[in-house]
Structure 1
């Protein structure tokens, strides 16, 4: 990995983390629910982008360095498994078992489906 690629990947990770903060904050001010909708939206949209970028790179349409910058850097900084896990545990602690199940299982299913959707979308484009 070149120093320029490392710097670009690091900057993209910072941008992704900042986007996550802004989007999650915006969703929390607009949507009043115990279900962490912001984290759900972030993880699902990040999975869509990652599937799209990865498929384009594997198909030779997008350079591998861009896959690293966008996929590993931007999407890695943007999406958050740890927050999703913590929010699920918090719901269990509050005895909101149905919401905890929806959050854990629903987010996993939606994120995997979005990743597949990104792959399929990239195949249409490529």
Structure 2
């Protein structure tokens, strides 16, 4: 039954990633991949909060599979981040490529720590 939880979460996460990426990118007239950055940082925040909740006993392993593995797994995209960073570098937008790599890692780690801290404060 665990596979079904992952499947349902992914069935929500994948279209959510696509729609969010398109909506965010449409608002910015730049080569910088704001849409991918947004979904990855939001996914890190959600996963951090979920991890904190599971660690505190406030969320079950089933929720972890549904939201963590399924939704966040399909929402976030390391492969697209890597491809877009490489594309920026190859197209001569090296500053944007480096900025994308640095901002993605720093913001992603910051978001996951913030999510864990929020969950710890919430679950007390």
- CA apart distance, 1:113: 0.5
Q: Which runs of 5+ in 1 are unaligned?
A: none
Tell me whether 1:98 sits opposite 2:90 in the alignment. no
Aligned to 1:118: 115
Tell me whether 1:20 sits opposite 2:17 in the alignment. yes
Match of 1:10 among 7, 19, 29: 7
Tell me whether 1:30 sits opposite 2:27 in the alignment. yes
- CA apart distance, 1:23: 0.5
Give secondary structure in 2 for the equivalent of 1:61: coil
What TM-score comes out, normalization by structure 1 length?
0.95
Runs of 4+ in 1 over 6 A off after TM superposition: none
Q: Which runs of 5+ in 2 are unaligned?
A: none
Tell me whether 1:45 sits opposite 2:42 in the alignment. yes
Instruction: Determine the C-alpha separation between the residues in 2 that align with 1:29 and 1:114.
Output: 24
Aligned to 1:70: 67
What per-residue deviation string (whole Å, max 9, x for no partner) do you get for residues 77-116 of structure 1? Answer: 0000000000000000111111100001110110000000
- CA apart distance, 1:123: 0.8
- CA apart distance, 1:47: 0.1
Aligned positions, number: 123
CA RMSD of aligned residues (A): 0.8
